[in-house]
């Protein structure tokens, strides 16, 4: 069926409506273009904060990594095609499977879905950009540079060889003295910054920038899934960051977190890694499931069945996903009694997964399917993910897991879940949203060829691995003995993997052809239901000339007259702005001023790259230079610009003071506090875990019990410093600038005194980070907190400088509120540290 | 407490109760195994507390639902359904406590 015919068939069911504002008032459109357009030169390319450009870059860059990871997989499969081959040596094979897994999980899957989220979420919720456009640009540049850092291990001839979960002690200094694992772990810490800020940005955007009327029961399911994914990112990444940072400390300065000889425990790595790793599976899967929930209703011409069930399933899957990390550790010797709970929790996930399956199948069943390529990929996903889910339930059963752990059965399972569950929806999404992004349609005949080769190739590649695993073939071996059933199974898998490659080549050819010669799509070629199709293809820089007013779950299928929200045209064309709405009911609350383009995000990312490169090379001067550059870039970023009217906003037009709970910036800082608090929890949990595992007194007998006098003085200073900061905040709320400055300076001095006291305490210690695991934890936790104090001091110093220039008033002091929140958090974190490191030591010893 | 805060509390309680049961049961089982003692009775009390908290949240959610706007009522419904699923999870955890034995 031709696209035009499909459109006609669709219109018969749902006469798709356009927003009245689509026609566009020429003066309004010109004004919006002037305000939102990025510069058309090289500088504009770097400084742009347009979510569509950033989203498209994420997609393109992640696709490049997909190709790289795919090439690595093809080499692996070529090596395994026949027994006893020597295409690559064992060390190279180890490096390639490590980089393949790392690339596909960290550099392809998550960023690709972030790219789609970046591009689509503001359009789907009727906003003009993300909540923090500069943070968005920063996230992209960090992602690119982190990927570059990891891939520099190729020219450095130092590939990590420990698999994508880099278990200790293999990845520790004793067994991996080369720098390959440093590229890997520093790259992941660096990348984690991008993922975390991306997650925070998605949450605040979805919570605060939805078009008026889009209450939570009217949000597109893709947006719901991005929301729950973002929440998972914010609270899962810290565990990985802590794990990798502790590994680097073990490798660089000789701490003992994972070293049993020094009181550490290799299982600590597995706990920390999988507390991140299992939710990460859902971080990858959930946005893809949202894509399917977007595609299916459009191509079966009916609203999705079981919308509340699908929302429930998304929320529950992510929540339960945090509680099943230990099912990756069934074979490491944890008490069977304890593993029973994790087995039960793993089975529990089958309930939300089943709900989703039922809703998707019911939607297809109840509609009239138009078998487009996007729909084919969505259906292919359902079949493959069902198979992957079933083997997941099998692996959730302890006795079965023990039989097949670390075999090719597990490889087959997670490829059905991740390739079937993410790559198939992704290709469906390409066919579905490519017209929106490019204005042209991908060719359907090539699309069907793309689907058939990928579906057949995938099953040919991965289904035999189930059998190979059951026959006992372990994963991560570079060859196997000939003359058994494994020969044919491996040959089939290799053939399948090359067929997948053919499929990807077909897609690239289709994309290249369609980009120039594809049929013009128009605003809405599929007669779709969600707001991104209400604007032109590709969308204008400002997304919507008038922000839509939403009155149903499927606004473009709503037969009532479409409406737009009230927004003064002169305000909309004088500055970048979008609506700020309430989180649950999406009631319009304020006009949010959006920042202009800036070089600061790219500079901050580059400065971080310098810092991480210095760490990698162990050049402390470079590390220090990077740190100074980061601080300078952040100050540049936060410093308000005063430019001529028309291009940038004068400071006088900054938003008026709004309730802390209503300001996106406040939400951003609160979420940053949440992610940071998770890092402290991970560190303190590590402290108690190693103490518990030591099965003796903690601190160990050779370490003296911490004295309390100096820490008590320090605690009084730090906690007391919250009072003048709070006083300053209240003062500026009344418009008193003098008291603001006095409060900030007094708070600053008290915190600086805390650091001094802590420095004295360090000097009095009779142990060092290298003494044993206790010493490692003590100094790591306290100095990590000390870094937070330093960050708070820098921020307050910036506030003081801005205050001296008269940039705060009763109506404009959001920055003060945000920094105060951070300040109080730093004090609160110290309370937990003091209780754990100082008070508990009086009891546990 | 205002309705919105009560709603968020009801959304968070079931998942917190389930997670607390999981973590505490894991900790107590590990402790019992490392000390070579029987699983403490406290592990079953944790289950009871988790069940009470979850059922309580479910009942409160149902009660406040009608006072909320469309979005809030939707969240309340989803939360109540989630609480029901998590009750199953808590019960499954207790079954594991009762029937899975051994430390090896």
Mean pLDDT of A513-528: 93
User: Rounded to the nearest 5 degrees, what angle is found at the Cα of A336, between the Cα atoms of A696 and A679?
Assistant: 60
ipTM of the complex: 0.94
Angstrom distances, CA of residue A68 to CA of A97, A104, A107: 12, 9, 10
pLDDT digits (tens, 9 = 90+) for A738-787: 999 999 999 999 999 999 999 999 999 999 999 999 999 999 999 999 99
Q: Considering only alpha carbons, which residue of chain A is nearest residue B38? A: A337
Question: Is B98 at the interface with chain A, CB within 8 A?
Answer: no
Q: Considering only alpha carbons, which residue of chain A is nearest residue B96? A: A340
Q: What is the DSSP string of A492-546?
A: HHHHHHHHHHHHHHHHHHHHHHHHHHSPB--S-TT--SSGGGGS-SSPPTTS-SS
Provide the 3-class DSSP secondary structure of residue A479: coil
Token output for B28: 């107590």
Burial status of residue A727 (CB atoms within 10 A of its CB: 0-12, 13-18, 19 or more) = middle
Between A and B, how many CB-CB pairs are < 8 A? 112
Question: What pLDDT band is residue A580 in, cutting at 50, 70 and 90?
Answer: confident
Most trustworthy range by pLDDT among A494-508, A661-675, A680-694? A494-508
Question: What pLDDT band is residue A26 in, cutting at 50, 70 and 90?
Answer: confident
Token output for A831: 């309370």
Chain A residues whose CB is inside 8 A of the B90 CB are: none
The residue with greater pLDDT, A661 or B53, is B53
Residues 19-78 of B with CB under 8 A from A: 19, 22-23, 25-26, 29-34, 39, 69-75, 77-78
pLDDT digits (tens, 9 = 90+) for A712-730: 999 999 999 999 999 999 9
The residue with greater pLDDT, A236 or A334, is A236
pTM: 0.93
Q: Considering only alpha carbons, which residue of chain A is nearest residue B35? A: A695
The partner residue sitting opposite B89, judged by closest CB among A337, A345, A586, is A345
User: Rounded to the nearest 5 degrees, what angle is found at the Cα of A11, between the Cα atoms of A10 and A13?
Assistant: 70
The partner residue sitting opposite A341, judged by closest CB among B22, B31, B75, is B22
The partner residue sitting opposite A316, judged by closest CB among B29, B82, B102, is B82
Checking if the pLDDT of A652 tops 70, the result is no
Chain A residues whose CB is inside 8 A of the B99 CB are: 340
The partner residue sitting opposite A337, judged by closest CB among B19, B33, B95, is B33
H/E element, A589: strand A588-593
Mean pLDDT of A601-619: 96
The partner residue sitting opposite A338, judged by closest CB among B26, B73, B99, is B26
Task: Report CB contact under 8 Å: A340, B96.
Answer: yes
pLDDT score, position A561: 60
How far apart are the CA of B39 and the nearest CA of chain A, in angstroms?
A: 9
Closest CA to A341 of A319, A354, A325, A353: A325
pLDDT score, position A200: 97
């Amino acid at each position: 069926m031709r696209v035009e015919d499909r459109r006609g068939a669709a219109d018969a069911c749902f006469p798709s409506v356009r927003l009245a504002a689509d026609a566009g008032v020429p003066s309004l459109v010109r004004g919006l273009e002037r305000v939102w357009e990025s510069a058309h030169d090289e500088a504009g390319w770097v400084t742009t904060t347009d979510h569509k450009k950033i989203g498209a870059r994420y997609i393109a860059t992640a696709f490049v990594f997909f190709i790289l990871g795919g090439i690595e997989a093809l080499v692996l499969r070529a090596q395994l095609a026949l027994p006893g081959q020597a295409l690559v040596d064992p060390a190279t094979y180890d490096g390639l499977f490590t980089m393949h897994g790392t690339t596909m999980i960290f550099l392809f899957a998550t960023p690709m879905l972030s790219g789609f989220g970046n591009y689509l979420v503001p359009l789907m919720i009727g906003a003009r950009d993300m909540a923090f456009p500069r943070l968005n640009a920063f996230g992209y540049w960090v992602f690119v540079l982190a990927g570059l850092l990891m891939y520099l291990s190729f020219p450095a001839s130092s590939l990590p060889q420990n698999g994508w979960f880099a278990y200790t002690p293999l990845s520790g200094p004793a067994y991996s003295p080369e720098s390959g694992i440093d590229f890997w772990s520093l790259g992941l810490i660096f990348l984690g910054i991008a993922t975390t800020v991306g997650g925070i940005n998605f949450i605040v955007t979805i919570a605060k920038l939805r078009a008026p009327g889009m209450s939570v029961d009217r949000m597109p399911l893709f947006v719901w899934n991005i929301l729950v994914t973002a929440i998972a990112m914010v609270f899962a990444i810290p565990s990985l960051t802590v794990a990798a940072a502790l590994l680097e400390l073990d490798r660089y300065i000789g701490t003992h977190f994972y070293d049993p000889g020094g009181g550490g425990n290799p299982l600590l790595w597995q706990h920390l890694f999988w507390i991140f790793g299992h939710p990460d599976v859902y971080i990858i899967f959930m946005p893809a499931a949202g894509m399917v929930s977007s595609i299916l209703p459009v191509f079966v011409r009916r609203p999705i069945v079981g919308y509340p069930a699908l929302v429930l399933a998304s929320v529950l899957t992510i929540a339960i996903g945090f509680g099943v990390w230990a099912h990756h550790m069934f074979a490491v010797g944890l008490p069977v009694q304890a593993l029973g709970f994790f087995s039960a929790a793993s089975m529990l996930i089958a309930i939300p997964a089943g709900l989703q399956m039922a809703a998707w199948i019911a939607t297809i069943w109840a509609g009239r399917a138009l078998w487009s390529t996007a729909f084919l990929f969505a259906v292919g996903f359902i079949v493959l993910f069902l198979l992957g889910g079933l083997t997941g339930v099998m692996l959730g059963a302890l006795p079965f897991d023990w039989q097949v752990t670390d075999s090719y059965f597990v490889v087959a399972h997670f490829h059905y879940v991740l390739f079937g569950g993410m790559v198939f929806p992704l290709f469906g999404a390409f066919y579905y949203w490519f017209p929106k992004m490019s204005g042209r349609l991908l060719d359907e005949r090539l699309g069907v060829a793309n689907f058939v080769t990928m579906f057949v190739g995938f099953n040919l590649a991965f289904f035999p691995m189930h059998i190979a695993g059951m026959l006992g073939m372990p994963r991560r071996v570079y060859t196997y003995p000939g003359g058994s059933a494994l020969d044919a199974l491996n040959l089939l898998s290799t053939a399948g993997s090359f067929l997948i490659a053919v499929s990807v080549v077909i897609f690239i050819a289709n994309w290249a052809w369609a980009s120039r010669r594809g049929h013009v799509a128009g605003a809405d070629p599929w007669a779709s239901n969600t707001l991104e199709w209400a604007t032109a293809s590709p969308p204008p820089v400002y997304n919507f000339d008038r922000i839509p007013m939403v009155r149903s779950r499927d606004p473009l299928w709503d037969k009532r007259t479409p409406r737009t929200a009230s927004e003064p045209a002169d305000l909309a064309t004088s500055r970048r702005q979008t609506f700020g709405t309430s989180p649950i009911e999406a009631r319009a609350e304020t006009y949010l001023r959006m920042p202009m383009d800036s070089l600061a995000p790219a500079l901050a990312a580059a400065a971080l790259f310098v810092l991480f490169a210095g760490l990698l090379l162990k050049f402390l001067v470079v590390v220090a230079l990077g740190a100074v550059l980061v601080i300078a870039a952040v100050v540049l970023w936060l410093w308000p610009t005063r430019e001529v009217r028309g291009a940038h906003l004068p400071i006088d037009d900054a938003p008026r003071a709004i309730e802390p709970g209503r300001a996106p910036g406040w939400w951003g800082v609160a979420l940053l506090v949440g992610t940071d608090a998770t890092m402290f929890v991970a560190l303190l949990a590590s402290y108690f875990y190693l103490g518990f595992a030591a099965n003796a007194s903690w601190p160990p007998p050779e370490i003296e019990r911490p004295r309390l006098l100096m820490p008590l003085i320090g605690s009084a200073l730090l906690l007391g410093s919250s009072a003048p900061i709070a006083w300053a905040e209240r003062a500026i709320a009344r418009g008193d600038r003098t008291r603001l400055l006095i409060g900030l300076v007094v708070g600053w001095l008290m915190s600086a005194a805390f650091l001094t006291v802590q420095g004295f305490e360090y000097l009095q210690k009779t142990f060092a980070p290298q003494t044993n695991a206790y010493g490692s934890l003590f100094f790591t936790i306290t100095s990590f907190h000390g870094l937070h104090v330093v960050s708070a001091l820098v921020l307050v110093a910036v506030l003081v400088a801005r205050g001296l220039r008269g940039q705060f008033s009763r109506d404009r002091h959001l920055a003060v509120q945000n920094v105060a929140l951070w300040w109080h958090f730093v004090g609160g974190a110290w309370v937990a540290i003091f209780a754990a490191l100082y008070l508990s030591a009086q009891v546990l010893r | 407490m205002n309705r919105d805060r009560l709603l968020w509390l009801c959304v968070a309680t079931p998942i917190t109760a389930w997670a607390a049961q999981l973590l505490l049961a894991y900790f107590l089982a590990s402790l019992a195994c490392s000390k070579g003692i029987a699983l403490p009775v406290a592990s079953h009390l944790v289950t009871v507390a988790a069940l009470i908290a979850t059922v309580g949240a479910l009942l409160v959610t149902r009660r406040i639902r009608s006072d909320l706007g469309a979005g809030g009522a939707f969240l309340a419904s989803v939360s109540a359904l989630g609480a029901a699923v998590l009750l199953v999870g808590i019960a499954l955890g207790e079954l594991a406590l009762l029937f899975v034995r051994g430390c090896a």
